[in-house]
Amino acid sequence: MEKQNRKVAILIDAENVNSANARQIFDTMSTYGEVIIRQIFADWSNEAVKSWKTAISNYSIVSNQQFTFVPRKNSSDIALVIQAMVFLFERNVDIFCLVSSDSDFTRLVQELRERNKTVIGMGGRNSIKSFVNAFSEFIYLGEDNPENGYHLYVKAEDKSSIKPTEVKRNEPTPYISSINIKPNEFIPLEEEKMDAIREIIETLIDENGKAYYSQIGTDMKNKFSDFIPKNYHCKSLKFLIDNILKDLPEFEKSRDQLGKNKGAEILYLIRKK
């Protein structure tokens, strides 16, 4: 399906996501297709979500009011689920974008995907893994925006590995911020993903003699919905793989020219001789 024909619905859980992320949300989803539905859900009597007012106006978002009558019962979540199902059956939507880190939406995501819809998630890096992997893709929000109250930290007992995680500001944790990861600085892959990508490369080379970058990316995406270059501060898969090659010393990069176009090439990995 061509990009210009794809219809996108964006559903935002305002009580779970900072308004400072609005631009990233809409700039990103506009690259997936035409955004035909923009809705946001909250109890707007709650002062914590009032910062969304400007973004609602700037991005022409339809706001949904759901009063919370019982403490710790989030009626906004239920309203979002109901609207998503209405759009599923009554509107011609190809891509659903759910903006939240709330794992209570996991079953909604699964249901939409079971009905052949692409579901893009957007939320914090502290989102539960099972929730993240329910999506077709999951994009981390706001790591270059100090207004969000999130920073990348590394474990105090394991500084050398530089494995980042996300924690809330002022929250007591066993983490330190002595390693300052800048917005455009490469974020190393987690150990689990490094093990997986090494296995994928070895399998592809055993089968074909070459592990093409594109196939590595596809196979990793099938395993991890958040295996997206931008989540590691890389502008493309090429830069992501190039950044981790130093940790894959048994492989080396090679390339074939694509047709007669100078500069057009296909990248792949082979075993070092």
For 87-115, the pLDDT digits (tens) are 999 999 999 999 999 999 999 999 999 99
The predicted pLDDT at position 183 comes to: 65
The predicted pLDDT at position 244 comes to: 95
Could you tell me if 183 and 143 are in contact, meaning their C-beta atoms sit under 8 angstroms apart? yes
Residue 160 has pLDDT above 50, yes or no: no
The predicted pLDDT at position 6 comes to: 93
Q: Which two tokens stand for residue 257?
A: 């020219």
Q: Which residues pair with 98 in a beta bridge?
A: 11, 121
The three-class DSSP label of residue 35 is strand
Question: Average pLDDT for residues 255-268, to the nearest whole number?
Answer: 78
- The three-state DSSP-derived secondary structure of 43-76 is CCCCHHHCCHHHHHHHCCCEEEECCCCCCCCCHH
Could you tell me if 31 and 118 are in contact, meaning their C-beta atoms sit under 8 angstroms apart? no
| Domains (range + CATH), the chain | 3-145 (3.40.50.1010), 149-176 (no CATH), 191-271 (3.30.420)
The predicted pLDDT at position 267 comes to: 93
Residue with tokens 């989030």: 74
Q: What is the pTM for the complete model shown?
A: 0.81
Q: Which two tokens stand for residue 156?
A: 């105090």
| Cα 120–chain centre separation | 8
For 236-249, the pLDDT digits (tens) are 999 999 999 999 99
C-alpha distances in Å from residue 148, one per residue of 42, 76, 105, 166 = 18, 21, 22, 11
> DSSP states of 178-227 as a string?
-S---TTSPPPPPHHHHHHHHHHHHHHHHHHS-EEHHHHHHHHHHH-TT-
- C-alpha span between 165 and 175 (Å, rounded): 9
Residue 168 has pLDDT above 70, yes or no: no
**Position 153 confidence tier, pLDDT thresholds 50, 70, 90:** very low
Residue 134 has pLDDT above 90, yes or no: yes
